[in-house]
Chain A
Amino acid sequence: MADRRRRLRALLRRLPGEYPVLGAIVAAQVVFLLVPTLIVLVASFQGGSVIRFPPDELSVQWYAALPGEERFLAAFYRSVLVATFCTAVAIPVGIATGLGLIRYEIRFAGGIQLYLLLPFTVPLVVSGVVLLLIFRELGVLGQLWTVGLALAIINLPFMIWSVTSRVNALDPELEHAARNLGAEELQTFLHVTLPALMPGVITGGLIMFVLALNEFLVSLLITTPNIVTLPVLIYTSIRANVSPLVAAVASVYVLAAALAVLAADRLVGLEEFLRS
């Protein structure tokens, strides 16, 4: 009797997987995370001009209309430009900061770290207002590069984190070994230090790029009508009417996100993102 009960319990434990209760909670979370994200894809294939569930009929007419939508195309192009600029600024800054903080005896290192966290501790809307005021005072408001710079500033801690974790993991003995084998200091940096930092740089760069591509609130505050980026344009379009055309545009974002996740997995492995 006791034996059978034990066997039953063993079977029960195996049946729904390793962690039954935990598994059920997390499965619900997976649905919760994915449904509002992927629903945009479904809505974009709507045949009629009103988004309705279940869809009246399926069609790709909204995708067919995309190439003619110059406003959206221009905004998309600007978003890509802004994200590229932001990443290009953040990568060298991140590498320099990571090396400086970890490799050198810096006085007030704790204070500097706290200061460098400012982009995270200042509420995003306030960062937006602050940058709006500064760019206004400097008379550069309405120039596209200011948006790229702003996004580099507000997400900089992501880059610094990614790089510092790699600098930490890099054994200085490797660099000493390279130097003992006759490598120049510069060669050591280019062939030992930099490649070792690469996973951190790729992770950080990818995060910077995708976040910049998606950034909304600061962009909303500091863009003028001529330089609106795609998230801002999607926002104003949603406020006007919930047309399936916007869903088709938004689907591009879901696809870009999926691509980014794929790239991240191929380049460094998604698990890398969960390491501190």
Chain B
Amino acid sequence: MSRRSERWSPLLAARRAAVDALIALKERLPEDAYRNPPTAVGYLLLVPALVLVGFLFVGMLLLAWYSVLTFDPIEILVYELTLENWRRLFATTGYHVIFLRTIALTTVVTVLAVALALPYAYLTVRVRSAPLRKLLLVSLFVPFFTGVIVRAYGWLIVLGREGVVNAVLGVFGIGPVRFLASEGAVVLALLQIMLPFAIVMIAPAIQNVDRELELAASNLGADRLATFRRVVIPLAAPGIAGATIVVFTITAATFAIPDLIGGGRVDFVANLVYRTLFDSGNYPLAAATSVALVAVTSAVVVGIFRTIGSGTLGIRRGGGGG
């Protein structure tokens, strides 16, 4: 080891003292406790995470309970059980439209995001040129790390009345065209938000595809498209499943893009929940709507689990790289 670390420094001395104290403390325990840690330690290690996630678990139960409480415009919450919120949710056509729109547009975004992520992830993993790979990684992570609001703002600037696209169209004497407040604009913006998620989920799966198998396929006469379709995609199926689930659940719960880009014309369920919560203060109805959203997305996720498996979402033990 390097001699440098042997030199005395207050920080090092303090660290050693701390470790010595810890060791002394540990020595007091019965020897078995640290030499062969009992399984109980394993459970103990899980407690913090279980408690944190417990907030959501308990909260979901609380939510279910709220959804059968009575709303009162003055007292807000009356602790009397009722099915009124659920009846209203099922009986109002406006709510059906929002739920159906959420599912339909989310499906479109999910399919497009996964389809576009496949070539991107593949090229990022396989490209030989290092600078090119870096460019692909940077263009993936800078938007990913920039957040939804800033990018929604970016889309407003791109698609707005005096935005970039209309400026370009204006050169050709077209427009100005109104792009905002349409389903197409919402899908486009959502796609840009979700694409990095899909790529990040799919790339590890492609990394695990043995390159030799692709070479074998092309030796056997398959062209690139056939190799991609018959070899890469089936082997990357776990990643595709993971990406589909992640993109679907995040998109189905999206709020910012429909609100800012959709301009109130392309509301998703999240916008409905927000309005119910803050405009009318109807907590029970908002709770019922939330529970319904969970039910719908869970049904889709279970469907994907059944058809392509849990994919990369599961935490695996052992094996190459986990």
B142 touches A257 (CB 8 A): yes
* Interchain CB contact (< 8 A) of A133 among B42, B59, B147, B157: B59
A84 within 8 A of B: no
Q: Which of B148-197 contact A (CB under 8 A)?
A: 148-158, 160, 162-164, 166-167, 189, 192, 195-196
A120 within 8 A of B: yes
A131 touches B55 (CB 8 A): yes
* Interchain CB contact (< 8 A) of A97 among B46, B63, B125: B46
A123 within 8 A of B: yes
User: Which chain A residue shows the least CB distance to B34?
Assistant: A185
- Interface size of A in residues (CB-CB distance below 8 Å): 110
* Interchain CB contact (< 8 A) of B56 among A100, A153, A261, A274: A153
CA A276 to CA B243, docked complex, whole Å: 12
B266 within 8 A of A: no
A115 touches B145 (CB 8 A): no
Known: A33-B139, A125-B253. A53 touches B313 (CB 8 A): no
B230 within 8 A of A: no
A112 within 8 A of B: yes
B56 touches A276 (CB 8 A): no
* Interchain CB contact (< 8 A) of A129 among B152, B195, B277: B277
B57 within 8 A of A: yes
B146 to chain A, nearest CB (A): 4
- Interface size of B in residues (CB-CB distance below 8 Å): 117
Mark the stretch among A59-67, A69-77, A234-242 that contacts chain B.
A234-242
B58 to chain A, nearest CB (A): 7
Enumerate chain B residues within 8 angstroms of A2, measured Cβ to Cβ: none
A184 touches B23 (CB 8 A): yes
B19 within 8 A of A: yes
B56 to chain A, nearest CB (A): 5
* Interchain CB contact (< 8 A) of A119 among B43, B53, B146: B53
CA A43 to CA B55, docked complex, whole Å: 41
Q: Mark A224-246, 1 if CB is under 8 A from B, else 0.
A: 00000001001100110010001
Enumerate chain B residues within 8 angstroms of A220, measured Cβ to Cβ: 255, 274
A273 to chain B, nearest CB (A): 7
A234 touches B55 (CB 8 A): no
Enumerate chain B residues within 8 angstroms of A166, measured Cβ to Cβ: 322
A38 to chain B, nearest CB (A): 8
* Interchain CB contact (< 8 A) of B57 among A22, A118, A234, A274: A118
* Interchain CB contact (< 8 A) of A30 among B136, B260, B298, B319: B136
Most chain A CB within a 10 A radius of its CB, from B23, B49, B52, B62: B49
A126 within 8 A of B: yes
A153 touches B55 (CB 8 A): yes
B154 touches A19 (CB 8 A): no
Known: A125-B253, A125-B290, A168-B317. A29 touches B45 (CB 8 A): no
B322 to chain A, nearest CB (A): 3
B267 to chain A, nearest CB (A): 12
* Interchain CB contact (< 8 A) of B63 among A29, A117, A126, A234: A126
Q: Which of A121-156 contact B (CB under 8 A)?
A: 121-127, 129-134, 137, 149, 152-153, 156
A247 to chain B, nearest CB (A): 7
* Interchain CB contact (< 8 A) of B26 among A185, A215, A231: A185
A245 to chain B, nearest CB (A): 12
B196 to chain A, nearest CB (A): 7
A37 touches B157 (CB 8 A): no
Enumerate chain A residues within 8 angstroms of B136, measured Cβ to Cβ: 26, 30
A37 touches B119 (CB 8 A): no
B90 to chain A, nearest CB (A): 19
CA A116 to CA B55, docked complex, whole Å: 11
B305 to chain A, nearest CB (A): 10
A176 to chain B, nearest CB (A): 13
B5 to chain A, nearest CB (A): 11
Q: Which of A10-46 contact B (CB under 8 A)?
A: 17-19, 21-23, 25-26, 29-30, 32-40, 43
B273 within 8 A of A: yes
* Interchain CB contact (< 8 A) of B250 among A35, A124, A253: A124
User: Which chain A residue shows the least CB distance to B37?
Assistant: A104
Mark the stretch among B78-86, B198-206, B213-221 that contacts chain A.
B198-206
* Interchain CB contact (< 8 A) of A36 among B63, B192, B286: B192
A53 touches B163 (CB 8 A): yes
Q: List 6 A-B contacts (CB under 8 A).
A: A21-B224, A36-B151, A119-B53, A156-B53, A246-B153, A253-B147
6 shortest A-B CB distances, which residue pairs? A104-B42, A214-B147, A130-B59, A100-B45, A168-B322, A123-B253
User: 11 extra interchain contacts, Cβ-Cβ under 8 A, other than A123-B293, A276-B204?
Assistant: A96-B45, A106-B39, A118-B57, A119-B53, A122-B294, A125-B255, A133-B287, A167-B322, A185-B35, A257-B142, A273-B141
Q: Which residues of A come within 8 Å of B, CB atoms?
A: 17-19, 21-23, 25-26, 29-30, 32-40, 43, 50-54, 89, 92-94, 96-97, 99-106, 112-113, 115-127, 129-134, 137, 149, 152-153, 156, 160-161, 164-169, 184-187, 190, 210, 213-217, 220-221, 231, 234-235, 238-239, 242, 246-247, 250, 253-254, 256-258, 260-261, 264-265, 270-271, 273-276
